[in-house]
Amino acid sequence: MPINFETKTNAQNYSEYIIIGAGPAGLQMGYYLEQSKRDYLILEADKEAGAFFKDFPRHRTLISINKYNTGSDDPEYNMRFDWNSLLSNNDELLFKNYSKRYFPDADNFVTYLKDFADHLKLKIAYNINVVKIEKKEEFLITDKKGKEFVCKYLIIATGVAKPYVPKIEGIELTENYASVSINPDDFSNQKVLIIGKGNSGFEMADGLMDTTAIIHVAGPKSIKMAWKTHYVGNLRAVNNNFLDTYQLKSLNAVLDVHIDKIEKKNDKFSVSYRFVRAEEAKKDVEYDRVITCTGFSFDDSMFSENCKPKLTINNRFPDQNNEWESTNIPNMYFAGVLMHMRDFKKSTSGFIHGFRYNIRALHRILEHKNHDSTWPCYVQKIVPNHLMNMVIDRVNKTSALWQQFGFLGDLITVCEEDQEARYYEEVPVDYIHNSEFGKCDSYFVLTLEYGPLHDQMDPFDVDVIRIKQSARENTNDSHYLHPVLRYYKDGEFVKEHHIVENLENEWFHEVHKEPLEQFFEEILEVNTIRINSIING
């Protein structure tokens, strides 16, 4: 529900929780605070939700997939292939109701976010442009017009909105991805340099290829393809048509270079290179246009010195502990893309289909920490067959563990005295080991993970990825996404079990179930007599 603040300048409005930013992360966090009936408010600088997506991506096609048909009617399973929907209890608020395109238009997503905010009546104050955040006992937030807001817990969901500019002499002379023209006619017959080998750089290159004379895409590191690393932030196939034009000698090129200097000479740009692959050989190349497409970083300009979060990863992210809390400002939390600091370039916290689950976990952490709520769980008798079935059921449908591979896990704590196991879903793995959970006498952690060599091999080389018959016995050889169960005793890792990979990602055959049940039996040391005695009470 939009909130209109007609308060006087410097009048204070108190909320227990304040979220800054009504993008997908702010809305998702607001949804969970609304569900738990907490006192919260979302502050948004724009007049409506999702303002970032009005401008980005520049060429207006999302690279987050929207698989309309999956062959399944299981909503949890279908979220594996829906990378745009936020989590809610309203089936109408699924993105598939807004577009059937596999790579949808960004404008559809803007409409979706607006509807999400409106239909769920989230408490949002629009046109509140925050310019200053201070902290004494609580947080004091001031907007551009002098309105003040106070909260006990502050959640920053502003994303990475400030263009990241590398330290290159003359970089200020270049145009930036955030503001450069995207009209191909403006680049007709020009020689263009694009700095940056990520998705934004190749999105720009693909968008300009029709009219330019030559495009060079440059950076010091080799291109990493998402299909090889399984990290969706690396170069995606939807943006890599440009690579064909390079490898098939059609004027364009990808340069592995250090850029030392950019100079403006007679309406042209002279760029000084050191080639990585040629023993630092140097060369100056002339261009008509130079565009910087090196991504975005966190903007900390609104924070006062006594409230400025520590930054990390080239100052692109706020530093966080395993509860997504600032490491130097207590009660300041981060949601959305900013959560990616904890699994940077490893999993999917930098993307909606990953951080929506992080935010659900953060809400559970806050509910436990601030309101004495317990993490939801299922209670089960310690019977290997029963535990095996619970694990098999989860790995065949879970979206959270599928998207947040290796980062979120299901936790099974074992209480031998009560002969009970407690099953907790979607807990951050590092949080498990460093929280009260990690103090349990013994517990299992279930994750989905790729094999250890996934980022070093060609996934299309059949001779490399062929699963030998012995892999049925040594399941640790699985390269593709597969379930992994690890056992811990007295806080120490003891043993792990890999469920062998499957082409259809279906882990309900005997080759998957039988070894898993044996693993539980071995760990829990349960014999047939004991099992029967437990079952019979």
Percent of the chain with pLDDT over 70: 92
Residue type at 257 in one-letter notation: V
Q: How far apart are CA 54 and CA 57, in angstroms?
A: 8
Say if residue 56's pLDDT is above 50. yes
Question: Any idea what the Cα angle at residue 31 is, between residues 54 and 106, rounded to 5°?
Answer: 20
- Higher-confidence residue of 460 and 124: namely 124
Q: Which of 123-132, 360-369, 434-443 has the lowest mean pLDDT?
A: 434-443
Q: How many Cβ atoms are within 10 Å of 164's Cβ, its own excluded?
A: 17
pLDDT of residue 531: 46
pLDDT, mean of residues 388-411 = 97
Q: Which of 76-90, 275-289, 304-318, 474-488 has the lowest mean pLDDT?
A: 474-488
10 band by pLDDT with thresholds 50, 70 and 90: low
Contact call for residues 41 and 17 (beta carbons, < 8 A) = yes
Phi, psi of 391 (to 5 degrees): -65, -45
Q: Beta strand pairing status for 420-428 and 442-449?
A: unpaired
Q: Which residues contact 230 (CB under 8 A, 6 or more apart)?
A: 405, 450, 454, 455, 481
Q: How many Cβ atoms are within 10 Å of 96's Cβ, its own excluded?
A: 18
pTM for the whole thing? 0.92
H or E segment and range at residue 533: helix 528-535
pLDDT, mean of residues 136-160 = 96
Percent of the chain with pLDDT over 90: 84
Say if residue 334's pLDDT is above 50. yes
pLDDT of residue 278: 76
Residue type at 490 in one-letter notation: D
pLDDT of residue 9: 44
pLDDT, mean of residues 402-425 = 93
pLDDT of residue 279: 73
pLDDT of residue 6: 45
pLDDT, mean of residues 202-208 = 96
Tokens describing residue 329: 């400002």
Instruction: Kindly give the interhelix angle for 106-119 and 24-35, rounded to the nearest 10 degrees.
Output: 20
460 band by pLDDT with thresholds 50, 70 and 90: confident
Q: How far apart are CA 346 and CA 232, in angstroms?
A: 9
pLDDT of residue 533: 53
Contact call for residues 103 and 59 (beta carbons, < 8 A) = no
pLDDT of residue 417: 77
pLDDT of residue 8: 40
Contact call for residues 56 and 179 (beta carbons, < 8 A) = no
- Calculate the average pLDDT of the chain: 92
Say if residue 270's pLDDT is above 60. yes
pLDDT of residue 469: 43
Say if residue 48's pLDDT is above 70. yes
Say if residue 386's pLDDT is above 50. yes
pLDDT of residue 1: 60
Q: How many Cβ atoms are within 10 Å of 18's Cβ, its own excluded?
A: 26
Say if residue 442's pLDDT is above 50. yes
- Residues, the chain, total? 537
pLDDT of residue 529: 40
pLDDT, mean of residues 145-168 = 95
Say if residue 527's pLDDT is above 50. no
Alpha carbon 126 to its chain centroid, in Å, reads: 26
